[in-house]
Chain A
Amino acid sequence: MRLSVAAAISHGRVYRHLGLGPRSRLDLLRNLVTALVRHERIEVPWARADEMRGYAERLIDYAKLGDTNERAMRLANFWLTEKDLIHKLFKVLAVRFQPHPGSYTRMLHIPNRDDIDRAKMAVIELKGNPFPPLIVPRRDTEKTLLNQLLKGYREDAHRAAVP
C-alpha cells in the first residue's frame, strides 16, 4: 500500500519552474517586471509573461497605497532594479490606474519565435500605454450578407415612405 504521494505529482501547484531555482526565478521575473514598467509593452515567452502578470498587478496594487507606505517602498525597491522607475511607478502608473480596481495588463499571443527553439511568445502591455493599439476592431464591409440584407431593408422602407 503506497502511504506517501509519489514525487512526480504536482496537483494544485501554481508556480512554474523557471530559471535555476526559486531565487533565479524571482530574479528573472524581476527583470521582466522592470522591463514592463520601463517600456510598457514587451514581447516575451508566454510562460514567463503569465508568471510575470500576477507580480506586476500586485506591484501596482501596492503602489496605489502610496509611497509613504514602508512596505510598498521596500517591495518597489526590490522589484524594480532601475531606480528611476520607482518614481515612475508611484507618480505615473499608480495615478493612471487609480480608478480601476484590477487587471492593469493585457496579454496576447504572437507567432512563435523565429529562432531554432520556436518558443511560444506573448506580448504583454500595460493598459493606457501611448503606443497604437494592438487589436484594431474593424467594421464589417458592405459586402457581408447581413449588411446587404439591412441595406435592402433600408431601401424598401425608404421607397415605402416617399410616395
Chain B
Amino acid sequence: RFLSPEFIPPRGRTDPLKFYIERKDMIQRRKAFNIPEFYVGHILAVTTANPYASEKASRFVGICIQRGGKGLGATFVLRNIIEDQGVEIRYELYNPRIQAIEVLKLEKRLDDNLMYLRDALPEYSTFDVNMKPVSHLDHEEIPVNKLQVRMKPKPWSKRWERPQYNIKGIKFELPEKKMKEAQKWSQPWVEFDMLREYDTSKIEEKIWKEVSEELKK
C-alpha cells in the first residue's frame, strides 16, 4: 500500500487540473515501464540509454540519498564511490531514456535525506558495481538500518549537528560544548505552529484509489 511521494500535490494555490493531467501522464509512463517502490537508503541500479556508450546503455549503481520534486519532474540522487572518486547522479523518474531500475538492496535509513554521506568516511558510500540483488519477500516489512555513520573531521559542507536538519543517523564525535552551541539555533516553537502542518492523509487516499484503479486496467 505504497503511494510514491511525487503523486502528492504540494500545498499551494495552483489549479488541481494541472496535477490531474500530470498524474495521467505519470500513470501512462508507469504502465509502459515498471518503477519499483523504493525509499531513501535503498541501493539501486539504473540503466539509461546513452548514444555514445558501447552497447548504447550505461549502468550506474548507487545508494539513493534524496528523492525530490513532485509530478513528472520527480528526481532521485544516487551516490557511489568509483575508483576513490565520489559520484552523485540525479535521475528523473519519468525520463524516457531510463531503460531499467532494479532495486538491489532494500533498507530504509533513519533519515529522509542522506546528504551527509558526502562528509562521512568513504567506506559508507562505496557499493560494489556488480552487486547481486538481495532477495526480499513481498509481504515482509522493509528493514530500517539504524547505522550511525562516522564523519570526516570538520569542516563539513553543511553544519549537520544543527537541529534544523534533524539528523539521527550520525555518530557525532564533537565535544559537548559544540553540541550545546549548536542547540542555540533550535526553534522549539515550530513544533507547535499548527498552520505549518500539511495533512495529506485524505488526499493520499483519494489519489491512491485513482492510481491503483488506473494501473489495474
Contacts and interface: CB of A to CB of B under 8 A. Distances in A.
Contacts of B187: 22-23
A75 B193 contact: no
Contacts of A46: none
B215 interface: no
B2 interface: no
Contact of B194 (A12, A15, A23, A62): A62
B12 interface: yes
Interface residues of A, number: 15
Interface in B4-42: 12-13
Interface string A68-101: 0000001100110000000000000000000000
**In the complex, which of the residues B13, B187, B189 has the most CB atoms of chain A within 10 Å of its own CB atom?**
B189
A22 B194 contact: no
A70 B107 CA distance: 30
A20 to B, nearest CB: 13
Contacts of B193: 26
**In the complex, which of the residues B12, B187, B194, B195 has the most CB atoms of chain A within 10 Å of its own CB atom?**
B194
Interface in B165-217: 187, 189, 192-195
B195 A22 contact: no
B192 A54 contact: no
B104 to A, nearest CB: 38
Interface string A22-60: 110010000000000000000000000000001100110
A78 B194 CA distance: 11
Interface of A: 12, 14-15, 22-23, 26, 54-55, 58-59, 62, 74-75, 78-79
20 contacts: A12-B12, A12-B13, A14-B195, A22-B187, A22-B189, A23-B187, A23-B189, A26-B189, A26-B192, A26-B193, A54-B194, A54-B195, A55-B194, A55-B195, A58-B194, A59-B194, A62-B194, A74-B192, A75-B192, A78-B192
